Amino acid sequence: MTTCKPTESSAPPGTHGEFALTLEHLTTLAKDPGWKHYAWGRAKELDADRSGLFKGMAEALKAAMTGPANTGAPDAQTLTKPHSANPK
């Protein structure tokens, strides 16, 4: 019988695997004005998931969108504003 040893990662908890892939996907979507409200809502939805796998997703998306490498992208404030279907 073989056993698997857990691998040690230098990445902080929550920054690898499924969380990181999902964060990257949501960040890409949030950069597009047509998708930013969906991405923000999905991040909050995942953050509240009972499994805890995506705990912190909303804050991580905010941080990713306000980072220095993302100038010109929607900022955290615009992510949290409600979407208006009829802009004036």
- 6 vs 17, which has greater pLDDT? 17
Q: State yes or no: pLDDT of 41 exceeds 50.
A: yes
H or E element at residue 42: helix 36-47
Distance CA(77)–CA(28), nearest Å, equals 17
Most confident option among 2-6, 14-18, 35-39: 35-39
| pLDDT score for 78 | 55
- 5 vs 33, which has greater pLDDT? 33
Contact status, residue 74 vs residue 33, Cβ threshold 8 Å: yes
Three-state DSSP class for residue 79: helix
Q: Considering only 12-16, 51-55, 62-66, which range has the smallest mean pLDDT?
A: 12-16
